[in-house]
Chains A and B, each alone.
Chain A
Amino acid sequence: MPNIVVLVKQVPDTYSERRLAEADHTLDRESADAVLDEINERAVEEALLIKEAQGGEVTVLSVGPERATEAIRKALSMGADRAVHVSDPALHGSCLLQTTRVLAAAIGKVDGVDLVIAGNEATDGRGGAIPAMLAEVLGFPQLTHARKVAIDGTTITVTRETDTGLTHLSATLPAVVSVGEKINEPRYPSFKGIMAAKKKPVETYTVADLGIDAAEVGLAAASTTVLEATPKPPRSAGQRVEDSGDGGGKIAEYLIGQKLI
């Protein structure tokens, strides 16, 4: 009966315009609607499928501002059992190393973790590195970019899918898994699920609760620092013609004019 922790992140909705704050070059979280990252819905779904087949418990973990509670509620209404939310103003502007350290400490608050399931890449940061970094810190094997996950006792096998093709992986639990886009179709929360989620326990921690000095996280102590950020001028529309039988020829003329063919 695997004890599973699913990592979920609240991200700016990709349909809205995403910006950086002018003052400190961090993500401007006010300017965009926030949603549970789509890939993390698939991570939750995979955890629920494992639980339905083998039992166990599913804890969702999110490190992020107050608003991340919406993402946590969504995961709980899909069917996760409980949640851990690390929320602390000191975390603002944290780098990948700091985020990894906080996630690892929070995972440490959950007893006897067998499996950590994350998304392969967040749509905002796009680091694609947190799952591997966590495996490094926790000393667990990493089975990342999963298209298929199977657990048999303490053996976990994963089909990894990346641009280079499929790789078949095997390791021993406890382990870190990250899921890819094609692993499953996440369920919609049912009305019953939404109601039940309201009563599920959510533990909230500050970084101090995790035994981390607040001065060691956040922008001022980050391992990377942004020196300058320049918005790109938006592209503007060029020529547009109606096709009246010669549209293909007109493109060819244009490409020749631009020395592209």
Chain B
Amino acid sequence: MSEVLVLVDEIDGEVKKVTFELLTAAREIGEPAAVVVAAPGTAAKVKESLAAYGAAKVYVAESDDVANYLVTPKVDVLANLVGAKSPAAVLIPATAEGKEIAGRLAVRTGSGLLIEAIGVESSGGDVVGVQSIFGGAFTVKAKSTRGTPVVTVRPGGVEAVQAQGAAAEETVEVPAVDAAKATTVTGREPVVGGDRPELTEASIVVSGGRGVGSAEKFEVVEKLADALGAAVGASRAAVDSGYYPAQFQVGQTGKTVSPQLYVALGISGAIQHRAGMQTSKTIVAVNKDAEAPIFEIADFGVVGDLFAVAPRLTDEVAKRKG
């Protein structure tokens, strides 16, 4: 079976869930080989969890340059591996950085780039990417016509399933950086994640819109989210009004989420908001306007005041959980 390279997404040695999703997807089309391009000492921390999701190999490319330069060190390592190992495909998380790495890798290796896949399949010897486009309005299957297919996979697109892998280590070099073409990283201010699950990873998302009315009152949304063990999301109107930070925006210009349950509180259901959440398995909406378009796609809707309905629901959920 041919190798499938998976670029590992990690922060300070903690592997992101999307990596496990990619390793799971890779098993559909070949033998997963995880690629760790990170600061020295990282591979030792992540190896065990990569093995638990079926990584047969782990390529270890460690250097201080990885943190000091933007994007290019990862491209350099992957390009060398594509040349040396002739993998069946390269899978990269469809994060802001991942999309850029994938784009440059496709240019460098003259390969087709399949973007935002929600799965990969093997068909007649080809690697086929499954894409969900225009906010889920179309499902598309596409393949690369040249080179080694480079596929970006959307976080949450594939369900991670464990499988034991050998995780045989092989050290590879991080090539020297060409300073004239590179971008230096002079500092970082990482967002500090709270206790809630990440928006794109959560199985339940509770979102608030303009109807919530203020930043203080967003507490109503947060309380329900915490009772459900959910992530908190927001509409763009809520973000633009300063009720909630921008990284929580759901929709066309925000996150695409596809949880088991999406609860929309005080959100009208504009087409751009729907583009980011309409592939959720179950949608529940609370809105005081019976004509709000969100009800057209909601599995269960309550016409009413969110400040009456949401706290009551929070209590019911808490009671049930005991």
* A interface residues with partner B (beta carbon < 8 Å): 14-15, 17-20, 25, 38-39, 95-97, 100, 120-121, 123, 125-133, 135-137, 139-145, 157, 160, 162-172, 175, 181-182, 222-232, 235-243, 245-252, 254-256, 258, 260-261
| A238 contact set on B, CB distance < 8 A | 298-301
CA distance A74 to B204 in the complex (A): 41
On whether the beta carbons of A170 and B184 are closer than 8 Å, the reply is: yes
- Given A132-B71, A163-B95, A226-B140, decide whether A97 and B312 contact each other with a Cβ distance below 8 A: no
Segment at the interface with A among B53-61, B142-150, B160-168: B142-150
On whether the beta carbons of B252 and A261 are closer than 8 Å, the reply is: no
Whole-angstrom distance between the Cβ of B95 and the nearest chain A Cβ: 7
Mask, B229-256, CB within 8 Å of A = 1, is 0000000000000000011000011000
Known: A139-B181, A254-B300. 19 other contacts (CB 8 A): A120-B96, A126-B115, A129-B102, A129-B113, A142-B183, A144-B96, A157-B186, A162-B96, A165-B188, A167-B185, A168-B188, A182-B246, A223-B111, A223-B113, A235-B278, A237-B297, A240-B301, A248-B313, A260-B204
Whole-angstrom distance between the Cβ of A42 and the nearest chain B Cβ: 11
Segment at the interface with A among B24-32, B42-50, B303-311: B303-311
Q: Which of B110, B111, B142 contacts A225, CB < 8 Å?
A: B142
B195: CB under 8 A from chain A? no
Considering only residues 114-155 of chain B, those with a C-beta below 8 Å from chain A are 114-116, 128, 133-134, 136-147
Whole-angstrom distance between the Cβ of B271 and the nearest chain A Cβ: 6
CA distance A172 to B182 in the complex (A): 9
On whether the beta carbons of B104 and A133 are closer than 8 Å, the reply is: yes
Q: Which of A143, A157, A222, A251 contacts B309, CB < 8 Å?
A: A251
On whether the beta carbons of A261 and B300 are closer than 8 Å, the reply is: no
B100: CB under 8 A from chain A? yes
Whole-angstrom distance between the Cβ of A152 and the nearest chain B Cβ: 14
On whether the beta carbons of A171 and B271 are closer than 8 Å, the reply is: no
B13: CB under 8 A from chain A? no
On whether the beta carbons of A136 and B142 are closer than 8 Å, the reply is: no
CA distance A251 to B264 in the complex (A): 12
User: What are 17 pairs between A and B in contact, CB < 8 Å?
Assistant: A19-B138, A97-B106, A128-B100, A128-B115, A131-B100, A181-B253, A222-B145, A223-B113, A230-B140, A232-B136, A237-B296, A240-B295, A242-B302, A248-B313, A249-B316, A252-B317, A261-B320
Q: Which of A130, A231, A252 has the most CB of B within 10 A?
A: A252
CA distance A248 to B309 in the complex (A): 4
On whether the beta carbons of B282 and A258 are closer than 8 Å, the reply is: yes
CB-nearest residue of chain B to A163: B247
- Given A96-B103, A243-B308, A247-B312, decide whether A129 and B145 contact each other with a Cβ distance below 8 A: no
Whole-angstrom distance between the Cβ of B245 and the nearest chain A Cβ: 11
Q: Which of B204, B228, B252, B320 contacts A256, CB < 8 Å?
A: B320
| A25 contact set on B, CB distance < 8 A | 140
On whether the beta carbons of B103 and A252 are closer than 8 Å, the reply is: no
* B interface residues with partner A (beta carbon < 8 Å): 11, 70-71, 75, 95-97, 99-104, 106-108, 110-116, 128, 133-134, 136-147, 180-191, 204, 228, 246-247, 252-253, 260-261, 271-272, 275, 278, 282-284, 286, 290, 295-305, 308-317, 320-321
Whole-angstrom distance between the Cβ of B201 and the nearest chain A Cβ: 11
Whole-angstrom distance between the Cβ of A195 and the nearest chain B Cβ: 32
| B144 contact set on A, CB distance < 8 A | 223-224
CA distance A166 to B290 in the complex (A): 41
| B70 contact set on A, CB distance < 8 A | 142-144, 160, 167, 169
Whole-angstrom distance between the Cβ of A180 and the nearest chain B Cβ: 9
On whether the beta carbons of A224 and B142 are closer than 8 Å, the reply is: yes
On whether the beta carbons of A226 and B103 are closer than 8 Å, the reply is: no
CA distance A38 to B283 in the complex (A): 29
Report, nearest first, the 8 A-B pairs whose CB atoms are least far apart: A243-B304, A248-B312, A129-B103, A132-B100, A252-B316, A248-B313, A223-B112, A238-B299
CA distance A125 to B252 in the complex (A): 12
- Given A127-B103, A129-B99, A229-B138, decide whether A169 and B184 contact each other with a Cβ distance below 8 A: yes
CA distance A248 to B99 in the complex (A): 41
CA distance A231 to B133 in the complex (A): 10
On whether the beta carbons of B113 and A95 are closer than 8 Å, the reply is: yes
Q: Which of A126, A163, A171 contacts B183, CB < 8 Å?
A: A171
Whole-angstrom distance between the Cβ of B144 and the nearest chain A Cβ: 5
| B282 contact set on A, CB distance < 8 A | 258, 260
CB-nearest residue of chain A to B102: A129
On whether the beta carbons of A132 and B103 are closer than 8 Å, the reply is: yes
Whole-angstrom distance between the Cβ of A100 and the nearest chain B Cβ: 7
CA distance A130 to B106 in the complex (A): 11
| B187 contact set on A, CB distance < 8 A | 167-168
Whole-angstrom distance between the Cβ of A39 and the nearest chain B Cβ: 8
CB-nearest residue of chain B to A127: B115
| A164 contact set on B, CB distance < 8 A | 11, 95-97, 190-191
On whether the beta carbons of A223 and B147 are closer than 8 Å, the reply is: yes
Whole-angstrom distance between the Cβ of A214 and the nearest chain B Cβ: 18
| A236 contact set on B, CB distance < 8 A | 296-297
Q: Which of B143, B145, B261, B321 has the most CB of A within 10 A?
A: B145
